[in-house]
Amino acid sequence: MRKILGIIGGGQLGMMMTEAAKKMPEHIKKIIVLDPTENCPAFKVGAEQIIADFKDEKSIQELAEKSDIITYEIESGNSDVLKSVEDKAEINPSPETLKTIQDKFLQKTFLYENKIPVTEFIQITSIEDLQYGLTKFGYPALLKVRRDAYDGRGNLKINSSEDVQKAFNHFKVKNLMLEKFVQFKMEVSVIAARNTKGQIKTYPLVENIHENNILRETIAPARVTKEISNKAEKIAQTTMTVLKGAGVFGIEMFVSADDEILINEIAPRVHNSGHHTLQSSETTQFEQHLRAILGLELGSVKLIHPTVMFNVLGSKDFEGEYKPIKISEQNVYLKMYGKKISKPLRKLGHINLVAEKGESIKDLLKKLVLLKDKVRITALN
C-alpha cells in the first residue's frame, strides 16, 4: 500500500527526505511536514505543510490523522504527544527511543549501561554536584544542557575553579550534565540504519571537522587505520542492536589520543555528516531512512567515490537576504536549502566534492581551499 509520510520538521533534512520520498512513488504517495516557518525548505520541494510549532499537540495530532507513517528531522519533538498518537500512525524511530536519545543524560546512561564506551559523566542539579564533578573529572570539563541543544549551543567548557559559579548560572535551565573533556585526535561518525524488521547496516566511517561547535567539513572515508574504522563500526553495530528504533541514526564519536573510540552522542535522524551520501554512495542516507521506516530491504551502503562535504554557512557578520551562489565545476555538487534569510553560521547549504578516478582526499581538500571563496555568503544589497 502506498503510504502518506508525515515529517516533523521541514528544514533541510525534511527537504532532502521529501526529495528522496518523491523518488519512491511506488511506496509513498504524499509527504506532509509540520514546521513553523511558512514556505519551509520541504514545502518548496513539494511537501504539503502544516504550519505550527514542532511541539504543538493539536498539530501533531492532525499530522498523525493525515499520515500513515511519521518520522522526524529534529530530536526535540514531544515524545509523550508522539506516544499518544501511535494508534493513528506508525512512528519511527519510536517515541521511546526518541525519549531516551533526546535527553543527553538518559542517552549516555543508556549507552553506559549497555557497555558502549562513553566519556565519564554525571547529572548536575546543584552547584554542589558541579563542584563534585569537577573534582572527579578535573579541568577542563564540559557542562551540557540535557535537552534541545544543537550546534553546541547548550555546551559550556569550564576551564578552572574560578569559572564554576558563572558556569552554573550560565544556563537558564537547570537540567544539566557534566562530562569529562575528551582530548580527541579526531571526530568521526557512522551513519547507521535499522529497518522495522531489525536489519542493520552501517555506512563507512567518516571524519568530521567542527568550527565554533558547528560541523564544517566531513571527509568520507575518515583518514584512519583499518583497526580504528573496524572498532568504530563494531561499536556502531552494537549500538544499533541495543537501540530499538527503526530509521537512520547519526552516531557521533571521538577517536581519543590512545585510539579508543568513545561515543559522543546519537542523533535519531538523518545527519549532516551523512550528506556526502547524496553523491558518494550507492544509497543516500535519505532513501535509506525511508527504506528503514517503510520496512523495505536496506540499500547498499557502499561508498563509491571518496567525497568531501563542506557546509555553506551564513557569514558571521550579517543577517538578511543573500546573493545566490553558483558553482559550475565538474564533480562539485552544490545543494542550497532554499532559506531566504542568512543568519550568522546558519546552515544554508552544502557542497560535495567528489573524487574523480585517481583523485585522493588530499586533492579534494586542495580543491576545497579554492572553492571556499566561491561559496562565501554576502548580502544581496
Positions in the binding site for ligand ATP (CB under 6 A)? 119, 142, 144, 149-155, 179, 181-182, 187, 210, 213, 215, 252, 264-265
Stretch that binds Mg ion, among 133-141, 164-172, 245-253, 360-368 (CB under 5 A): 245-253
For 299, other C-beta atoms within 10 Å of its C-beta total: 18
Q: Is the link from the previous residue into 93 a cis peptide, with omega within 30 of 0?
A: yes
Q: How far apart are CA 314 and CA 214, in angstroms?
A: 12
Sign of CA dihedral 280, 15, 92, 178: positive
Query: Which of positions 260-279 make contact with Mg ion (CB under 5 A)?
Result: 265
Q: Is the link from the previous residue into 140 a cis peptide, with omega within 30 of 0?
A: yes
**Is the CB of 165 or the CB of 183 nearer to ligand ATP?**
183
**Least distance from C-beta 83 to Mg ion, angstroms?**
25
**Is the CB of 35 or the CB of 265 nearer to ligand ATP?**
265
**Is the CB of 3 or the CB of 180 nearer to ligand ATP?**
180
**Is the CB of 125 or the CB of 213 nearer to ligand ATP?**
213
**Binding partner of residue 206 among ligand ATP, Mg ion, none, CB under 5 to 8 Å per kind?**
none
Q: How far apart are CA 139 and CA 158, in angstroms?
A: 7
**Binding partner of residue 155 among ligand ATP, Mg ion, none, CB under 5 to 8 Å per kind?**
ligand ATP
**Binding partner of residue 235 among ligand ATP, Mg ion, none, CB under 5 to 8 Å per kind?**
none
Classify strands 176-180 and 121-124 as parallel, antiparallel or unpaired.
antiparallel
Report the C-alpha dihedral over residues 97, 294, 269, 364, rounded to 10 degrees.
Answer: 150
**Least distance from C-beta 316 to ligand ATP, angstroms?**
17
Q: How far apart are CA 189 and CA 373, in angstroms?
A: 27
**Is the CB of 184 or the CB of 318 nearer to ligand ATP?**
184
User: Cα 218–220–225 angle (5° rounding)?
Assistant: 115
**Binding partner of residue 68 among Mg ion, ligand ATP, none, CB under 5 to 8 Å per kind?**
none
**Least distance from C-beta 144 to Mg ion, angstroms?**
10
**Binding partner of residue 288 among ligand ATP, Mg ion, none, CB under 5 to 8 Å per kind?**
none
Q: How far apart are CA 357 and CA 354, in angstroms?
A: 10
Closest CA to 27 of 47, 3, 49: 3
**Least distance from C-beta 301 to ligand ATP, angstroms?**
22
Q: List contacts with Mg ion (CB under 5 A).
A: 252, 265
